Amino acid sequence: MLEIIRLILPIYLLIAVGFAIIRTGYAGGEDLRGAGRLVIRLFLPIMIFSSIAGTGTDTQSHMRVYLIYTLGSVLSYGIGYMTARLAGKDHGVGAFEAMGCSCSNSAFFGLPIITVAYGPQVALEIFTVALLVENVLIIPLAIAIIETDSGLTWRKIKRLLGGMARNPLLLAAVAGLMWRTSGLEIPQVFARAIALLAPVAAPVALLSVGGSVAELSLHAFRWGVARIVICKLVGHPVSVALVSLVFARDMPQLAGGLVLNAALPMMASYMLFGQRFQREDVAATSLIAATVLSFLTLMSLLWLLGSQL
């Protein structure tokens, strides 16, 4: 257990530093938000492109990784949606809570943690898988249900598709797939330059997580918050683990990384969706609670996966 604490504590220390920087006024929120935007718009797209364009992963194994994370995330989404509906909530609220149950903070949280646990190659592959599953399937599904509940229009559909088309992470993934299909290799000069970005992106991302949490306001506890946090930190990883037992017995590291990614707090942009759909208080409180409690859940999960590390 001491080794697990040594593994995960530096990650949360960097988050705490980001939190302290904002709360003490040492730097403004816009400073860390700018750094976070740099990670999302430059560092991660380049790393995603490199990971997909230059990957040597067996195609069959790669497709199984997508299948596992897709099925596990859809199962977690269904659990979140049904628990909200059983609690008497409407379709829109159910879809919003389900989004929080099945979309991880893979960019700012997952890459550093999985890199430490399984190495950068596994971390980048899993991040790419989570990115595509969440942005192509889970998030559009949730938004479509929420918008349908309030009246779906062609304008809303165009806004959804336009947002996907402008997502730099998705564009990088598509470009990487096209490059890989061409059969060309990434020139060594560019490959070395890309390799220099990896150690920079992770700490900046973690500082951004802390800064984001520092700017949120903790609202009164609601049962919706409990449903989202429990489903995200427990239901999502259990769902992915169950699917992994069926399809990934021969891929222990990738399976472990997928379960770790599922056990992360929800994506940072959940707060933005909360503002958009008038659920800001639930989103903010869920995000804070999940970030704090994830220290315990991730430490426990790493202990369970310890034989694979």
For residue 85, what is the domain's CATH number?
Answer: 1.20.1530.20
Would you give the DSSP letter of residue 266? B
The type of residue at 135 is N
C-alpha distance from residue 192 to each of 50, 75, 101, 143 (Å): 11, 39, 37, 39
In total, the chain counts a number of residues equal to: 309
Burial of 185 (0-12, 13-18, 19+ CB in 10 A): exposed
DSSP 308: G
Q: What is the mean pLDDT of residues 250-262?
A: 93
Q: Are 265 and 282 in contact (CB under 8 A)?
A: no
Please choose, from the candidates 204, 216, 207, the residue with its C-alpha nearest in 3D space to the C-alpha of residue 288.
216
For the CA atoms of 122, 15, 222, 101, the dihedral, rounded to the nearest 10 degrees, stands at -10
140/156 Cα distance (integer angstroms): 11
Q: Per residue in 284-299, is it b (16+ CB within 10 Å) or e — as a string?
A: bbbbbbbbebbeebbb
User: What distance in Å separates the CA atoms of residue 277 and residue 145, rounded to the nearest whole number?
Assistant: 12
Supply the range of the domain harboring residue 34: 2-308
Collect all residues with Cβ–Cβ distance below 8 Å to 180 and sequence separation of at least 6.
52, 53, 54, 55
Q: Give the pLDDT confidence of 183-222 residue by residue, as tens digits.
A: 888 888 888 887 777 677 778 878 888 888 888 776 656 7
- What integer is the mean pLDDT of 78-97? 94
> Which amino acid is located at 196 in the chain?
L
pLDDT in tens, 27-75: 888 888 888 888 878 887 887 788 777 655 555 667 899 999 999 999 9
pLDDT of residue 55: 59
- Position 307 confidence tier, pLDDT thresholds 50, 70, 90: very low
CA distances from 250 to 63, 238, 247 (A): 14, 18, 8
Tell me which of 88-92, 175-179, 192-196, 261-265 is least confident: 192-196
Report phi then psi at 153, rounded to 5.
-125, 165
Choice among 110-124, 159-173, 219-233 with the minimum mean pLDDT: 159-173
User: pTM (2 decimals)?
Assistant: 0.81
Region 175-188 average pLDDT: 84
Average the pLDDT over 159-176 and give the result: 80
**In Å, how far from its chain's centre is CA 284?**
16
Total structural domains in the chain? Answer: 1
Confidence of residue 85 (pLDDT cuts 50, 70, 90): very high
Question: What rounded mean pLDDT belongs to the chain?
Answer: 85
Question: Range with the lowest mean pLDDT among 48-62, 103-117, 222-236?
Answer: 48-62
Residue with the bigger pLDDT between 289 and 276: it is: 289
Distances (CA, A) of 203 to 26, 107, 200: 18, 12, 6
In this predicted structure, which of 93-102, 146-155, 189-198, 295-304 has the lowest mean pLDDT? Answer: 146-155
Q: Which residues contact 214 (CB under 8 A, 6 or more apart)?
A: 18, 19, 20, 21, 22, 23, 29
pLDDT of residue 219: 62
